[in-house]
Copies of this chain bind each other. A is one copy, B any other.
Amino acid sequence: MLWSPASGSDHAPLVLMAHSGGQHKRAPGILGRAHRFVTGCGFHVAAIDAPGHGDRPRTAADEQHIAVLRQAQAAGEPISPVIVRLHIDLAARAVLEWQATLNALQQLPEIGANGPVGFWGIMQGTGIGVPLTAVEPRITAAVFGCLGHESLTEAAAAITVPIEFLLQWDDEHVERQSGLALFDAFASTDKTLHANAGGHFEVLRFEAGSAAQFFARHLGRDAGA
């Protein structure tokens, strides 16, 4: 999916949006924020389905991950170790897909090869986005969050671009100290943590406005705020 402003979008900044686990490129959490970034900031926004998500067929490995995840949930076991393995497997495929997507997007005349690029993705979007941003110098600002440091510390330590990181203070799926450790691991000298009271699925709507302001500050267009 590529959304662009109705006018004045030539060489506007581009924001890549990665959805959460079990979601897809047109999920409400993507659509609402994409709308805000496009109409409020004048950005291009692109979203793709993660491997095994949305319109994409599932591989045997995808089916296996889902089976293990459902088993852990049914047994009331912690799902965090399953999620960590799932994200590692997804990222191994999705990082290359995002780089190919970015190559294709930058061939479009209205985007071009030299415009600023941001990345937005929380939860599974962070599990894919941190390894991606660590190896992709075209991404110059990123919003991550709602995920812990397990398996991501090394990639985070390779990231130096400005970061806004969301954390749910009462997250029932992500240990608070693990989320704080991931924020701590980013090598970026310009990084901001937004921690809000509430559970894993209670990320507040006004953080979309904050993300828009963050991208406007760092990708170079005024968010009107």
A interface residues (Cβ-Cβ under 8 A, vs B): 167, 169, 180, 183-184, 188-197, 204, 206, 209-210, 213, 217, 225
Q: How far is the CB of A17 from chain B (nearest CB, A)?
A: 22
Q: How far is the CB of A112 from chain B (nearest CB, A)?
A: 28
Can you sample 14 A-B contacts with CB below 8 Å?
A169-B184, A180-B180, A189-B197, A190-B197, A191-B197, A192-B194, A192-B195, A192-B196, A192-B204, A193-B194, A193-B195, A209-B213, A209-B225, A213-B225
- Hey, which chain B residues are within 8 Å of A210, CB to CB? 210
Interface of A is mostly: mixed
B195, B209, B225: the one contacting A183 at CB < 8 Å is B195
Other 10 A-B pairs with CB < 8 A, given A169-B191, A188-B197: A167-B193, A190-B197, A192-B204, A193-B193, A193-B194, A193-B195, A193-B196, A210-B210, A213-B225, A225-B225
- Hey, which chain B residues are within 8 Å of A195, CB to CB? 183, 192-193, 195
A217 and B206 contact, CB distance less than 8 A: yes
**Nearest-CB residue, chain B, relative to A196:** B192
Q: How far is the CB of A74 from chain B (nearest CB, A)?
A: 31
**Nearest-CB residue, chain B, relative to A190:** B197
- Hey, which chain B residues are within 8 Å of A217, CB to CB? 206
| Distance between Cα atoms of A183 and B188 in the complex (Å) | 24
**Nearest-CB residue, chain B, relative to A210:** B210
| Distance between Cα atoms of A197 and B162 in the complex (Å) | 10
